[in-house]
Structure 1
Amino acid sequence: MWLLKGPIVTLKLTCVASLLATALLSSSLSAEPITFTDVTGQTITLPAPPMRIVTLPNPAASTVIALDGKADRIVGMNEGSKRAFAGGMMGVMFPEAAGITSDILAESGGWMPNVEAIAALHPDLVIQWGQRGDDIVAPLRNAGLPVALMVGGGNSGTEELARENMRMAAEITGQMEKFDQLIAWRDRVMDELAAGFEQAGEIDKPRILHLRSAKTKLTATGERSYQNVFIELVGGQNGAAGLGVDGTVSAEQILEWNPDIILLSAAEGDAGLEAIYDDSLLSKLDAAKNRRVYKTPQGGYIWDSASHESPFTWMWLANLAHPDLFHFDLRQELRDGFGLLYAYDLSEDQIDRILRLDVNGKQQGYQVFAAK
């Protein structure tokens, strides 16, 4: 009998493999087509929900992962996204993302796709910037790759476009219920801000300057930036209004503006508060004298860009801009928000890291964010 045992086992294994292959094929064939609208209004139909996605815009990878709750759909992201993952909490929460390739752009710092490298990843969908010229989109479509477009993320755009980018990610990943929860969260924070201002009546609006870069050059964001959106939302006035989206400025120009608060971008990881305090001119600003210079926090994404985490930015800046008016418990908001966004339980040390207590801890008003 033992002579027959080997062939019988082999036959059984072969049958199991055959059944598994048949089940997988059947599952693939039975997958329902997916139709969604990108942020430019283009209707896209795919034969099945995309399981291999390449993202070229900086915020796209983290937005898709936040809505999906996992990182396994992303097979390619640009190098800016990967730096944000490494510098923030995304790399901690989704360590497998460290292996995602970022060699998908034709040149560093641009948006022209490396079509050959992207095609080699066999993507079901490529997400690219819209309204930045057809030259960065056409090569992908000419290669037969399905493309969906985001608009207005990062430094430019509006709250409406930020929501549309999230909506598209939710439709792609089948997470519309979670999207509704995130929109309700944004609306709740906006309503609390509006109620606070209504109750306060007339307020003094601090002049807030956001510096996109502060180390090798000074780049301020103007009235057509997303930074302007949240500056005005929290009852501030943009010190660089008139620049458009952004523009290179001099220290002398900033001295003339003399802002009450300066925000340094989280995207410029190597620029700390010394960019202001160690400068012979900028250190004379009211913001510097009153210690109201802050390095913007970074959670799953950079807080001073339009993203799914923007309500954190609004509450953080509202507490700093109007400490007598707003008292958001940002540490609890972070625990609740990260549970909703990422199903992740933050430790106290991780909250300190997100809020940059080591950098900002001695700045005016920042003690409100320390652990009780």
Structure 2
Amino acid sequence: MSLSSLVPRSFFVGVFIVLAVVGGVSQRQGIEVVDALGRVVRFERPPERLTLAGKGSFMLIDAAYLFPTEARQRIAAFAGAAQLSVDWLTLIDPTFRQTKTLLESQVGPEQIAATKPDAVILRALESTKLGPGVERLGIPVVYVELETIERYLNDLRILGQIFVNSKRAEELGAFYAERLGRVAQRTREIRERPRVLVLNYSVRGGTVAFEVAPVKWMQTQMVERAGGDPIWTSTAQPGGWTVVTFEQIAAWNPDIIFIIDYSGDARVTISKLRQDPLWASLKAVKNNQIYGFPGDFYSWDQPNPRWILGLSWLATKIQPKLFSDIDILSELRAFFSLYGLSPETIQTKILPVLKGDLP
């Protein structure tokens, strides 16, 4: 297993190659990876066996597979998750059942060690939980954030360092930066921001609840960037979804409502809400401005790589005059091609599973 050491350093992005060769990077060269916590993780050679684990591991898996060749070759194991889609994994890595170890979602350090990784990749929220236990077993840990728009491009660069493919990281960064720039440029000088409410619909123990996201979460950031005013921020609590009552929703009486449904199709949920007299009295429902957040195998509102699709889609709904030229299906095809999926595969395997308010 590669030796590593962790050195506190003010945050920067970069990778130091200990040995250099003309024409590329030798797989025997040492590397340094600067992770999301600003730590320097040193390897005598690029890690060849990677284990991905921790909370929200499906987001981490999907980000890693934006490096299709490296992910297939170097990921040895990953942890399951509530939202993990085997059908999606089969599309992007048809042999994963034979080549990868699928761990339990609540995996511990000893189970991770059993996969014999050269390094473990975790989200930064595990830096005080799972991470220290893994490091005590002598296994290097590299953290990525995968939580905010501001840091997402850096997370891709970190993965590029681990996979020793900075060129691919730059290509991915350009894809995201182009779309972020388009939204930022068009919304920079808008004077009127519609009052927007994003609600997560959930059913626990037979009880229906509506929840709002924390201020720093992706859902709130996406609304702000897409030209809307997220009206729930004064009510949201940090660290997780906050349940809100219908009375609070009615008091807000938003211009636009977006419904997220991780366990189903939000269009079905909205159809039921329209039949409820209380919901029918809301301005957004009266004006036909209530939408189901899109998704395919995963919803587009999360810190999964699909958030860039969610941002573009939101912009077309919140500021339709500014983004009337955006063809979301074209955006979708461009995005899924990043995983190496052919146009035919996208047509036959992705489009049929689309959910939410899409063309």
Q: Determine if the TM-score, normalized by the shorter chain, exceeds 0.5.
A: yes
1:61 alignment counterpart: 61
- Greater fraction helix: 1
CA deviations 1:57-76 (Å, max 9, x no partner) are 42111111112444343233
- CA 1:30–1:64 in 2, change beyond 3 Å: closer, same or farther? closer
Letter in 2 for 1:250: T
2:16 alignment counterpart: none
- CA 1:278–1:336 in 2, change beyond 3 Å: closer, same or farther? closer
Match of 1:190 among 180, 186, 197: 180
Match of 1:260 among 252, 255, 261: 255
Match of 1:233 among 225, 236, 239: 225
Q: Give me the whole-angstrom Cα distance separating, in 1, the residues matched to 2:109 and 2:282.
A: 47
TM-score, with length taken from structure 1: 0.75
Q: Give me the whole-angstrom Cα distance separating, in 2, the residues matched to 1:120 and 1:175.
A: 27
Q: Give me the whole-angstrom Cα distance separating, in 2, the residues matched to 1:325 and 1:167.
A: 31
Q: Give me the whole-angstrom Cα distance separating, in 1, the residues matched to 2:263 and 2:97.
A: 18
SS of alignment partner, residue 159 of structure 2: helix
User: Does 2:174 align with 1:149?
Assistant: no
1:214 alignment counterpart: 202
SS of alignment partner, residue 75 of structure 1: strand
User: Does 2:108 align with 1:114?
Assistant: yes
The offset of 1:105, in angstroms, is: 4.4
Q: Give me the whole-angstrom Cα distance separating, in 2, the residues matched to 1:222 and 1:125.
A: 31
Contact 1:76–1:104 (8 Å) recurs in 2: no
The offset of 1:233, in angstroms, is: 0.8
The offset of 1:343, in angstroms, is: 4.9
SS of alignment partner, residue 321 of structure 2: coil
CA deviations 1:279-334 (Å, max 9, x no partner) are 54444433333443333333575421124333222211111222222121222222
2:192 alignment counterpart: 204
- Greater fraction strand: 2
Contact 1:64–1:173 (8 Å) recurs in 2: no
Letter in 2 for 1:207: R
1:12 alignment counterpart: none
CA deviations 1:150-177 (Å, max 9, x no partner) are 22x2xxx432222222111111112211
Moved more, 231-240 or 57-66: 57-66
Q: Give me the whole-angstrom Cα distance separating, in 1, the residues matched to 2:105 and 2:77.
A: 10
Contact 1:273–1:293 (8 Å) recurs in 2: no
Letter in 2 for 1:336: A
Unaligned runs of 5+ in 1: 1-28, 107-112, 361-365
Letter in 2 for 1:118: I
Contact 1:31–1:48 (8 Å) recurs in 2: yes
Larger radius of gyration: 1
User: Does 2:168 align with 1:178?
Assistant: yes
2:312 alignment counterpart: 315
* Alignment RMSD (CA, Å): 2.8
Q: Give me the whole-angstrom Cα distance separating, in 2, the residues matched to 1:160 and 1:63.
A: 16
Unaligned runs of 5+ in 2: 1-25
CA deviations 1:184-213 (Å, max 9, x no partner) are 222222222233335xx5443222222334
Match of 1:135 among 129, 134, 156: 129
Match of 1:330 among 328, 331, 353: 328
Contact 1:44–1:148 (8 Å) recurs in 2: yes
After TM superposition, list the pairs within 5 Å mapping 1:67-106 onto structure 2: 67-69=67-69, 70-80=71-81, 83-86=83-86, 89-98=88-97, 100-106=100-106
The offset of 1:90, in angstroms, is: 4.2
- CA 1:41–1:30 in 2, change beyond 3 Å: closer, same or farther? closer
Q: Give me the whole-angstrom Cα distance separating, in 2, the residues matched to 1:185 and 1:321.
A: 22
- CA 1:348–1:65 in 2, change beyond 3 Å: closer, same or farther? closer
After TM superposition, list the pairs within 5 Å mapping 1:218-367 onto structure 2: 218-242=210-234, 243-245=236-238, 246-265=241-260, 268-270=262-264, 272-279=266-273, 280=276, 281-299=278-296, 302-326=299-323, 327-345=325-343, 346-353=345-352, 355-356=354-355, 359-360=356-357, 366=358
- CA 1:41–1:301 in 2, change beyond 3 Å: closer, same or farther? farther
Question: What percentage of aligned pairs have identical amino acids?
Answer: 22
- CA 1:30–1:72 in 2, change beyond 3 Å: closer, same or farther? closer
SS of alignment partner, residue 84 of structure 1: coil
SS of alignment partner, residue 294 of structure 1: strand
Provide the aligned length of Structure 1 versus Structure 2. 317
The runs of at least 4 consecutive aligned structure 1 residues that moved more than 6 Å come to none
Letter in 2 for 1:44: V
- CA 1:170–1:237 in 2, change beyond 3 Å: closer, same or farther? same
Contact 2:101–2:115 (8 Å) recurs in 1: no
Match of 2:40 among 27, 37, 43: 43
